[in-house]
Structure 1
Amino acid sequence: MIPFLFAAVAAAASPQPAAAAASPLALTTTMLAETRVPAADGSVTMKLAAPNHVGPGDRVVVQLAYRNRGTAPIAGLVLANPVPNGLAYRGPRGAGAAPEVSVDGRTFGPLSTLRVPAVAGGTRPATADDVTHVRWRLNSPVTAGTGGELAFQAIVR
């Protein structure tokens, strides 16, 4: 285990303001470690908790919580989160539409449609290890006083 690595990764995941400081949209990024919890019957369940230490290969969940603190609905909301340095994207977490991903922070889409430069020249298909940003488009307006959570799975590099 690498102590304190998680704190550095968590600091890198702090969301940027969606708009000016007076924005009614509140965003919070949280990282949780995925741990196995054995049950008395021999089965194993996965539990998410704030970790003290994480190391290479440990599984984490990056969770983006959003809330409309305003008095009017927010429509057409697009929420993007960078994949923190030290983590490798592994896929969406939870129900709902899969997020769009990016390998450069500018072009988003399904992972299967993205390409990256190849070592020998040209390009190659992008893999989950190449993902640098994750983005969700909310189809429904976020009404005043409501919010939700979006998440993706990652591993510590």
Structure 2
Amino acid sequence: MNRNILASAAALALGLALAGPAMAAEPVSLKGDVQVEKTVTENGATKTVLAPPTTVVPGDRLLFTTRYSNDGDKPVDNFVVTNPLPAPVRLAADEGGYDVSVDGGKSFGKLATLTVADTAGARRAAQPEDVTHIRWTLAHLAPHAAGALEYHAVVR
């Protein structure tokens, strides 16, 4: 099944999400990227490589990356980067290092501490497939500092 539109939409959604108010309020620039993780075998050795998402199918593993840079001459403290997960993907696993939301970005916490309502209305522990947003808080960005934030997702 060809999912070129899905890949483009996922990359676009990430890019649009990153172009929000954070860029206007701070001298921090953000750039999003998404790649497909492919397992290949060469000369009997198996390895994982990253490729552009020209075609994705359910079950494909994706790597979302947000590169950041403090383009200003002053430090920036407590800079928050929030990425909505595109609807056609689910979080691959809780890799830590970030907070997540399971309610559309209204509240955030560690996945292990969050709950969601099941189909009967009872509360259950939140799972990676319940995550709607990921959020990182960068405590201190020195002038001209740069880095990258990553998370893995799986095409639904």
Q: Taking structure 1 as the reference length, what is the TM-score of the superposition?
A: 0.88
Shift of 1:23: 3.3
Q: Does 1:155 align with 2:154?
A: yes
Matched, 1:21 2:33: no
Structure 2: segments with no counterpart, 5+ residues:
none
Q: Which runs of 4+ in 1 moved over 6 A?
A: none
Answer whether contact 2:23 2:30 (CA < 8 A) is retained.
no
Deviation at 1:123, TM superposition (A): 1.4
- Unaligned 5+ segments in structure 1 are none
Question: Does 1:9 pair with 2:20?
Answer: no
CA shift for structure 1 position 43: 2.1
1:49 shift after superposition = 2.1
The corresponding residue for 1:39 is 42
1:38-71 superposed Cα distances (whole Å, 9 cap, x missing partner): 131x221111121211111111011111111111
1:155 is displaced (CA, Å) by 0.6
Contact 2:7 2:53 in 1 (8 A): yes
Residue 33 of structure 2 corresponds to 30
Please tell me whether residue 72 in structure 1 is matched to residue 74 in structure 2.
Answer: yes
Q: Distance in 1 between matches of 2:64 and 2:72?
A: 25
Separation (CA, whole Å) in 2 of partners of 1:61 and 1:75: 27
* Counterpart amino acid of residue 33 in structure 2: T
Where 1:33 maps in the other structure, the secondary structure is strand
Give, in whole Å, the separation in 2 of the partners of 1:20 and 1:48.
28
Deviation at 1:87, TM superposition (A): 0.6
Instruction: Tell me the TM-score normalized by structure 2.
Output: 0.89
For the aligned residue pairs, the C-alpha RMSD in angstroms reads 1.7
Percent of aligned pairs sharing the same letter: 37
| 2:97 corresponding residue in structure 1 | 98
Q: Distance in 2 between matches of 1:127 and 1:92?
A: 9
Task: Please state whether the residue corresponding to 1:7 is helix, strand or coil.
Answer: helix
Per-residue Cα deviation, 1:51-98 (whole angstroms, up to 9, x for no partner): 2111111110111111111111111122111111201011366xxx62
